[in-house]
Amino acid sequence: MSPRWEDWWYRLALERGYLDAVLQECLVHPLQRLFRRCDAWERGWTDWLSGGASRESDQAPPGVEILEDLR
């Protein structure tokens, strides 16, 4: 076997046939993109329905005063 093929087989074995990478690229990332798009649509819909910014947690302040209360 030529050294080039040896390297190729070595990498393939080391990465377990690139199964993780294939699953990430072909399954996980497309699904994440789809659901993020759906989330954006939902945000638009609730913003319109509420008549304002519907997700206050996006601008949530750090919990400084909360930590003071815990003392």
Partner 1 sequence: MTTLHLPWLELSLALPWLGAAWVARVRQPETVQRRSVVVLGLTLLATIAAWIDFATLHAFEAHDRWDLSARLLGPDAVVIDELSAPLLPLAALLYFLTALVTLRTKVRRFSFGWTLISEALLLATLSCRHPWGVVGLLAAGTIPPYLELRARRRLTRTYVVHMALFVALLCLGQALVSGADPTTPPALVGVGLLTAAALLRSGIVPVHCWMRDLFEHATFGTALLFVTPMAGAYAAIRLVLPIAPDWILRSITPLSLFTAVYAAGMALVQREARRFYCSLFLSHSSLVLVGLETATPVALTGALSLWLSVGLALAGFGLTLRSLESRLGRISLDAFHGLYEHTPTLAAFFLLTGLASVGFPGTFGFIAMELLVDGVVTVAPLVGTAVVVAAALNGIAVLQAYFRLFTGTRHVTSISLRRRRREQFAVLTLALLILGGGVYPQPGVASRYHAAMHVVRSRRVLATAEPPLPSTHEPEPETNSE
Q: Binding residues for partner 1, per CB under 8 A?
A: 31-32, 34-36, 38-39, 42, 45-46, 49-52, 54-58, 60-63, 66-67, 69-71
25 φ, ψ to 5°?
A: -75, -40
Please give the distance of CA 68 from its chain centroid, rounded to a whole number: 33
User: Residue 11 or 37: which CB sits closer to partner 1?
Assistant: 37
Shortest separation between residue 11's beta carbon and partner 1, angstroms: 28
Shortest separation between residue 39's beta carbon and partner 1, angstroms: 6
Shortest separation between residue 67's beta carbon and partner 1, angstroms: 6
